[in-house]
Amino acid sequence: MMKRINLHMINIHCVAHRLALCTSQAAEKLPALKDYQEVVTSIYYYFKYSPNKISRISEVQKILDSPQLRYKEVHSIRWLSFYNALETVYRTLETLLAYLTNVSLSDAKAIGLKKKLQFDSVCI
């Protein structure tokens, strides 16, 4: 609409937005990054709908003197959301593995997450 009003107007896209779009599209082509995103997203959803799980992980974080962080969701439209979510997992990895080890006796989802994290934690 503005270009119709001013024919001499030059359209310049936001450089930061273009960079974010470029990196997210490039990441779609790398299976390893896609797998990491799925693991981080699974952790988020594992805790999201369970106040009991959130309470228990918070207790473990306090006991192990770990940062009191909540796991974050990865949003493809938000800049740096994958970094923020992955950083939370990285900073609380010891606590998360301790929690999953403790509950994995009765929780199949916890067993799966623990296996994924133990396998992928070298790269995280």
User: Quick check: 104 pLDDT over 60?
Assistant: yes
- Say which DSSP state 79 is in: T
Token pair recorded at residue 49: 């709908």
User: Quick check: 123 pLDDT over 90?
Assistant: no
CB contact set of 52 (below 8 Å; sequence gap of 6+) = none
Quick one: what percent of the chain has pLDDT higher than 70?
Answer: 91
pLDDT at 124: 54
pTM attached to this predicted model: 0.74
Q: How would residue 8 be classed by pLDDT, with cut points 50, 70 and 90?
A: confident
Let me know if 20 is exposed, middle or buried by CB neighbors in 10 A (0-12, 13-18, 19+): middle
pLDDT at 43: 94
What are the structural domain ranges in the chain? 30-120
Let me know if 72 is exposed, middle or buried by CB neighbors in 10 A (0-12, 13-18, 19+): buried
pLDDT at 17: 79
* 60-72 confidence digits (pLDDT tens): 999 999 999 999 9
- Say which DSSP state 78 is in: S
* 45-65 confidence digits (pLDDT tens): 999 999 999 999 999 999 999
